[in-house]
Amino acid sequence: MSTNVPNKTNGAAPQEQTIQFTKRLREEASQEPVKVHTGEVTKETQIIAIYGKGGIGKSFTLANLSYMMAQQGKKVLLIGCDPKSDTTSLLFGGKACPTIIETSSKKKLAGEAVSIGDVCFKRDGVYAMELGGPEVGRGCGGRGIIHGFETLEKLGFHEWGFDYVLLDFLGDVVCGGFGLPIARDMCQKVIVVASNDLQSLYVANNVCSAVEYFRKLGGNVGVAGMVINKDDGTGEAAKFAEHAGIPVLSAIPADDDIRRKSASYEIIGRPGTQWGPLFESLAQNVGDAPPMRPKPLTQDELLSLFSADSVGRNVVLEPATEFDMRGATVINKPTLEVIYDEV
């Protein structure tokens, strides 16, 4: 935003200055932002932030997606940005990966600097790391994300030569640290993972709203599309994507074989396997999908994707009364405030 705050040297009265400044701000806010770039991504490295409700299957999707990309000859870096630090668990067969935050703390106490080998690990061509986060009640998860990226920048993040950098973010945590890639243009595009349930689509809609908000502030990030996980065929997620103006990149079925293999930390996104073609297609779509400007839904529009019985649209709001709150009839007493007649 290019508007400068007015000062007292322009000859106008302070009140008039404020009115003029407010008017200019409103005029700028009402202007339609420049359309998001929808052509081919031109940066050599595609940095993609994946958002979704906690437990929706982002880590499962990303572990298999990154593995498939690596088997296709791409150089891929997977970064877990969830305080649970479980993004890389499936990739590493259930083995915990040392986080940047805990490693940084230990190194600092020892008077040593963090190196790449302390925090970045690899398997079958996939490079992966976890930012980590504080223990419950002992710090801000969003601040942990910010600290983690500050450490990555010191390690030369912007000089690394990857084809893809995939960032795994919680979408139902709204503090600033988790919106970092969108707010600071740290990625070119966003992908949302959701299912056919209201809560995951509510989160997906919030992410679309965040992208649109920062577009209006001059940002360049767009939404490349949606991955529907645990798809039971009911269609609500697909309808949301259609209304929001974003494509469905893949629909991963709610299959018991996938559930069992995922629970045992088995990668299913391997070439030549039953689920290989699904992730081959997803990898292709993720790479090709252009960042698009989404159309966030209103609360009523979001609820309209579901039947009235499942979301309670037939419920009538009945105002509470003073009797409900106190359990007794309230006698209205005249005010004791003294009101003087105007002269």
Q: Which residues have a catalytic role annotated?
A: 53, 58, 84, 172
Q: How far is CA 239 from CA 8, 28, 203, 222, 335, in A?
A: 54, 33, 15, 19, 55
CA within 13 Å, CB half, 141? 19
- Residue position matching structure tokens 């009839």: 329
Residue 165 zone, left/alpha/beta (φ > 0; ψ -120 to 50; rest):
beta
Tokens of 110: 């020892």
- Residue position matching structure tokens 């420049």: 34
The C-alpha atoms of residue 177 and residue 73 are separated, in whole angstroms, by 32
Residue 144's identity, in one-letter code, is G
- Residue position matching structure tokens 């795994």: 168
Tokens of 278: 């699904």
Residue 275's identity, in one-letter code, is W
The C-alpha atoms of residue 110 and residue 114 are separated, in whole angstroms, by 11
| Residues facing residue 123 across a β-bridge | 126
SS3 21: helix
Tokens of 208: 């679309």
Tokens of 338: 């003294």
Tell me whether strands 76-80 and 126-130 are parallel, antiparallel or unpaired: parallel
Q: Positive or negative CA dihedral for 92, 98, 99, 100?
A: negative
The C-alpha atoms of residue 266 and residue 13 are separated, in whole angstroms, by 70
